[in-house]
Amino acid sequence: MSQNNELKADSNCQLSIVNYQLSSVNCQLQLPTVNCKSISKAYGSVQALKEVSIDVEAGELYGLIGPDGAGKTTLFRILTTLILADKGTSTVGGFDVVKDYKKIRSSVGYMPGRFSLYQDLTVEENLTFFANVFGTTIEENYDLIKDIYQQIEPFKTRRAGALSGGMKQKLALSCALIHKPTVLFLDEPTTGVDPVSRKEFWGMLRNLKEQGITILVSTPYMDEASLCDRIALITNGQILKVDTPQNIVSQFDNILWGVRGNNMHKLLTDLRLHPSVESCFSFGDTLHVMLNNNALTTTALTTWLSGKGHQDVTIFPIEPNVEDCFMELTKQ
Amino acid sequence: MKQFLTFVKKEFHHIFRDHRTMLILIGMPIVEIILFGFAITTEVKDSKVAILDTSHDVATRHIIDEINANKYFNVVEYIHNSNDIQRVFQKGEASMVVVFEDHFYETLLHTGKAQIQVIADATDPNTATTITYYVNRIISDYQQTLMGQNKAPYQITPNIKLLFNPEMKGAYNFVPGVLGMILMLICAMMTSIAIVREKETGTMEILLVSPIKPIMIILAKMVPYFVISCFNLATVLLLSVYVLGVPVAGSLTGLILISLLFIIVSLSLGLLVSTLTHTQLAAMLVSGMVFLLPVILLSGMIFPIENMPMWMQRLSDIIPAKWYIEAVKALMIEGLGIMNILKEIGILSLMTLVFTAISLKKFNVRLD
């Protein structure tokens, strides 16, 4: 065999190409449901995405976590074939977003960040419309949307424009699900929704995940990150880290202190002046403080603070959350 | 096909639920035809005339009676002093004053020559020319009867015949124009706005991420406006025939055919606008400024194309409404058959092809 190869260099070359192509086909079959390879996209002089690569496995609830303007929507639009990337390749469900865009469009569900249903159509008309557009009926896939749709069904003759924020989201989710998509793209579904509805919404997502739908969800709320299987932290068009929320939190290698006092605002500005304080951020009723000098004791810090006029200051160790990790990562 | 019908149904829902737009779409043609037919008219009717007659003789009385009997004039005032002439015009009491010289009939008999001064308000030059012309006719008619008594040896009488529109009705001219304008407005403007609205509200984003072909979305948008345009075509034609008394002298089939073709041209223009603009406001401005205004100004609806400078006449050639109005005039007023408008049919078909081709080339299956 090897002799043969040496004799016929040309055919050897061709043979290896064939082999290579075969292996790439094999590779594609094992590809994750959503795959991005070094995606870049610029709007004029603004670089929205820089060399972004992510993989979403089948059946995963994957969170894209980052502040406004991080590039989440741009990435979603590239994956849903709505815009073209400047560089890089992506596949969704094994289909290329540029070549096979038609196949992707008929198999995924997409819910844009802005409420984009017909406000002058009723709840039922919207749902029927989207069912028919995808060549199906409400009855056919009722099981999938039942839990969600049942909550808004009493209002089915109401115009979509007259619904509350939470109900609008439920309707939009129902419409995105009505054709039983393999992958569901949810762009900031909980922005502008009240905390109770948000919690409820994430409950629905867990249920959908159990039914085997791969879900890619973006959110600016860090507290929602822990509800995902895996998260990608994104800022300024770059992915900072991809891991499970637990791993991301456990990789936080500093000790974090919670600080509370009477005058929280003054406490924050004073703490930031302390030479040993690396960072200090406000989280609800507590300040999260990271020190760069582990020799500093809590008593020493309390004394220093009372010297600044702070009374009843309590300092206690706390577990870091995803937001702490995000802050830490953005600093690097 | 079922998807397509779902879309069409949805578009009708959008239109029917927007009562104000609906009212405009259906009511505007009716209001416009009635406005143009009765209020905004260039015809001269019942012009107010004041008379300054110091002679009070047979001749002046005869002429005054003739003027008063004429349907174009209404003698409203007799003034006795030349100072009053200024007042009559300034207060707008009359648009014309007829002044007879002193001892009119006597002078005429003795010298064979008498003078009448006709003073007209030329703020509106067309009206002024028309009414002075009419008065001239009345006076020369009287002269003829005088000469008839004296048996003048030679006499040339021009026998004027006004073809197609013997009564000089304005309606004959503007019905085709209003038709062209309304169809252009509804098809081009409303369609482009409806398509761009989907882009603006973000629903286009969801529609694109679906198995439906983008071009089907657009076609479905056009169907309701096509139907409404046909409805408007029918109302305008019925109103013109039964209310304004403009007959369809030529081929009705030809008229319907050319109108349907014009509707399609306008729809393709609307499609073109929608592919080039991103906001409803921009779509409205483009259709309003680039299509509607030239339709009104350059299509021959208000200003005759023959009177325009050459370059403007050439410019009017690229306006679809010009060809449509020309064809409608030929069919409705001149009573010609379908064979006489083949040129217009050809040009409008070509325009449809060009607009559709550009739109399809520009059409984007993605956002931006």
Q: How much is the pLDDT for A165?
A: 85
- Measured between alpha carbons, how far is residue B61 from residues B48, B66, B311 in Å? 18, 9, 52
Q: How much is the pLDDT for A26?
A: 43
Q: Do residue A310 and residue A185 come from a single domain?
A: no
Count of positions (residues) in chain B: 368
What is the arithmetic mean of pLDDT over A44-67? 93
Q: Which residue has better confidence, B29 or A19? A: B29
Alpha-carbon distance of A211 to B324, in angstroms, equals 60
**pLDDT tens figures, B299-347:** 776 777 778 888 888 888 888 988 998 899 888 888 888 888 999 999 9
CB atoms within 10 A of CB B87: 12
Alpha-carbon distance of A153 to A146, in angstroms, equals 10
B149 pLDDT band (50/70/90 cuts)? Answer: low
B229 pLDDT band (50/70/90 cuts)? Answer: very high
Instruction: Tell me the chain A residues in contact with residue B365 when contact means C-beta distances shorter than 8 Å.
Output: 101
Taking an 8 Å cut-off on Cβ atoms, the answer to whether B203 and A116 are in contact is yes
State both tokens at A210: 């159990």
Q: Which CATH number fits domain B47-150: 3.90.220.20, 3.20.20.150, 3.40.1710.10, 1.10.287.3240?
A: 3.40.1710.10
Q: Which residue has better confidence, B144 or A257? A: A257
Q: Is the pLDDT of residue A201 over 80?
A: yes
Cross-strand bridge partners of residue A63: A217, A231
Q: Is the pLDDT of residue A73 over 90?
A: yes
Q: Which residues contact B75 (CB under 8 A, 6 or more apart)?
A: B49, B50, B51, B64, B67, B68
**pLDDT tens figures, A225-279:** 989 999 999 999 999 999 999 998 888 878 888 998 888 888 888 888 888 888 8
Alpha-carbon distance of B236 to B34, in angstroms, equals 10
A222 pLDDT band (50/70/90 cuts)? Answer: confident
A14 pLDDT band (50/70/90 cuts)? Answer: very low
Q: Is the pLDDT of residue A11 over 60?
A: no
Alpha-carbon distance of A175 to A109, in angstroms, equals 9
- The amino acid at residue B125 is P
Q: Do residue A99 and residue A16 come from a single domain?
A: no
Taking an 8 Å cut-off on Cβ atoms, the answer to whether A135 and B3 are in contact is yes
**pLDDT tens figures, B234-264:** 998 998 888 888 888 888 999 999 999 999 9
Q: Do residue A144 and residue A206 come from a single domain?
A: yes
Taking an 8 Å cut-off on Cβ atoms, the answer to whether A108 and B367 are in contact is no
Residue in chain B closest to A181 (alpha carbons) equals B210
State both tokens at B317: 């050639």
Q: Closest CB to A133: pick one of B14, B205, B212.
A: B212
Q: Is the pLDDT of residue A157 over 90?
A: yes
Alpha-carbon distance of A93 to A29, in angstroms, equals 10
Q: Do residue A178 and residue A55 come from a single domain?
A: yes
CATH number at residue A291: 3.30.70.2070
Q: How much is the pLDDT for B184?
A: 87
Q: Closest CB to A125: pick one of B13, B209, B367.
A: B13
**pLDDT tens figures, A112-138:** 988 889 999 999 999 999 999 999 999
Q: How much is the pLDDT for B160?
A: 62
What is the arithmetic mean of pLDDT over B273-291? 88
- The amino acid at residue B84 is D
Alpha-carbon distance of B59 to A108, in angstroms, equals 95
Q: Is the pLDDT of residue A28 over 60?
A: no
Averaged confidence pLDDT in chain A? 86
Instruction: Tell me the chain B residues in contact with residue A188 when contact means C-beta distances shorter than 8 Å.
Output: none
Write down the domain spans for chain B: 20-40+169-362, 47-150
Which of A8-22, A213-227, B119-133, B310-324 shows the lowest per-residue confidence on average (mean pLDDT)?
A: A8-22
What is the arithmetic mean of pLDDT over A212-222? 92
State both tokens at B344: 């217009």
Alpha-carbon distance of B4 to B217, in angstroms, equals 8
Q: How much is the pLDDT for A185?
A: 96
B150 pLDDT band (50/70/90 cuts)? Answer: low
Q: Which residue has better confidence, A1 or A291? A: A291
User: How close does chain B come to A264, measured CA to CA in Å?
Assistant: 42
Q: Is the pLDDT of residue A8 over 60?
A: no
Q: Identify the domain containing residue A236 by its residue range.
A: 32-245
* Candidates A106, A116, A159, A184, partner chain B, best to mutate (most B CBs within 10 A): A116
What is the arithmetic mean of pLDDT over B39-50? 75
Q: How much is the pLDDT for A162?
A: 93
Taking an 8 Å cut-off on Cβ atoms, the answer to whether A134 and B365 are in contact is no
Q: Please tell me if residue A98 touches chain B, with a CB cutoff of 8 Å.
A: no
Q: Is the pLDDT of residue A5 over 50?
A: no
B282 pLDDT band (50/70/90 cuts)? Answer: very high
Q: How much is the pLDDT for A136?
A: 92
ipTM over 0.85: no
Q: Is the pLDDT of residue A2 over 50?
A: no
Instruction: Tell me the chain A residues in contact with residue B208 when contact means C-beta distances shorter than 8 Å.
Output: 81-82, 105
Taking a C-beta distance cutoff of 8 angstroms, is the pair B235, B25 a contact?
no
Chain centroid offset of residue B227 CA: 24
Chain B residues bordering chain A (beta-carbon distance below 8 Å)? 2-3, 6-7, 10, 13-14, 17-18, 201-203, 205-212, 365-368
Taking an 8 Å cut-off on Cβ atoms, the answer to whether A121 and B367 are in contact is no
What is the arithmetic mean of pLDDT over A174-203? 91
Q: Closest CB to B201: pick one of A101, A116, A125.
A: A116
Taking a C-beta distance cutoff of 8 angstroms, is the pair A48, A236 a contact?
no
Q: How much is the pLDDT for B304?
A: 75
CATH number at residue A240: 3.40.50.300
Instruction: Tell me the chain A residues in contact with residue B210 when contact means C-beta distances shorter than 8 Å.
Output: 105-106, 130, 133-134
Q: How much is the pLDDT for A189?
A: 92
Q: Do residue A288 and residue A226 come from a single domain?
A: no
State both tokens at B105: 């009939």
Instruction: Tell me the chain A residues in contact with residue B211 when contact means C-beta distances shorter than 8 Å.
Output: 102, 105-106, 133-135
Q: How much is the pLDDT for B40?
A: 62
- Measured between alpha carbons, how far is residue B354 from residues A321, B347, B357 in Å? 61, 11, 5
Q: How much is the pLDDT for B169?
A: 63
Total domains, chain A: 3
- Measured between alpha carbons, how far is residue A289 from residues A226, A273, A331, B198 in Å? 21, 12, 14, 48
Q: How much is the pLDDT for A19?
A: 44
Helices (H), chain B: 2-17, 19-34, 58-69, 84-90, 104-111, 125-150, 171-184, 191-201, 203-208, 214-242, 252-276, 280-285, 293-298, 310-317, 320-332, 342-362
Averaged confidence pLDDT in chain B? 85
Q: Which residue has better confidence, A325 or A232? A: A232
A25 pLDDT band (50/70/90 cuts)? Answer: very low
User: How close does chain B come to A159, measured CA to CA in Å?
Assistant: 11
Q: How much is the pLDDT for A301?
A: 86
Instruction: Tell me the chain B residues in contact with residue A84 when contact means C-beta distances shorter than 8 Å.
Output: 366
B287 pLDDT band (50/70/90 cuts)? Answer: confident
Q: Is the pLDDT of residue B213 over 80?
A: yes
